[in-house]
Amino acid sequence: MNYFKGIIFLTLLLVLSRVIPHPPNFTPILAGIIFLPFIRKDLTFSIIVPLAAMLISDFFIGMHSLMFWTYAPIVFLSYVTYSLHKDSLTRIGSLSIASPMVFFLISNFGVWINSSSYAKNIFGLMECYFNAIPFYTSSAISCILFTAIFYSIRTFFLKKSLILN
């Protein structure tokens, strides 16, 4: 039952982070993906929580034609962070830097493929990526910031539990 409550709590927390007003792409979704294996070492948990959060919040903020290109990197990053899960500041820092880049590359490739605004050649793809840089910047800053917050909170509670024991 605690597993189920944990899924609901984390999912609702991530949903809330997407539906409350915030700068574009400034959410803890990617940082949450990095830390889900610390909460429960379970691949299903690591994939379902962010996907459910994305789907539920998309019901509120609007479904869109690029959902595959948004959800695919979420699944991929969930698997990668689960596979590379290790309590190492270097590993966590690397994931917080790499995850927004992976999301950026996959999701904006989808924008390029599905948009009539960009030429279907390498120049159109580069233009699409260039135009998305402000969104990447916001995503990268939020991922690094929220990852640092989650890591700090986790470290604080681990040290506190060691002191109490």
pLDDT of residue 157: 84
Q: Quick one: pLDDT at residue 100?
A: 98
**Torsion angle of alpha carbons 142, 61, 78, 149, nearest 10°?**
30
Q: What's the whole-model pTM score?
A: 0.92
The secondary structure of residue 63, as a DSSP letter, is -
Q: How far apart are CA 25 and CA 9, in angstroms?
A: 21
Instruction: Please give the average pLDDT of every successive group of 10 residues along the chain, which has 165 residues.
Output: 77 94 95 93 94 96 96 98 93 97 98 97 98 97 96 87 68
What local confidence, expressed as pLDDT, does residue 114 receive?
A: 97
With 0-12 CB in 10 A as exposed, 13-18 as middle and 19+ as buried, what is 70?
A: middle
Residue 1: per-residue pLDDT: 56
**Contact status, residue 41 vs residue 85, Cβ threshold 8 Å:** yes
Domains and CATH numbers, the chain: 2-164 (1.10.1760)
- Report pLDDT for 52: 94
Confidence at residue 15, expressed as pLDDT on a 0 to 100 scale:
96
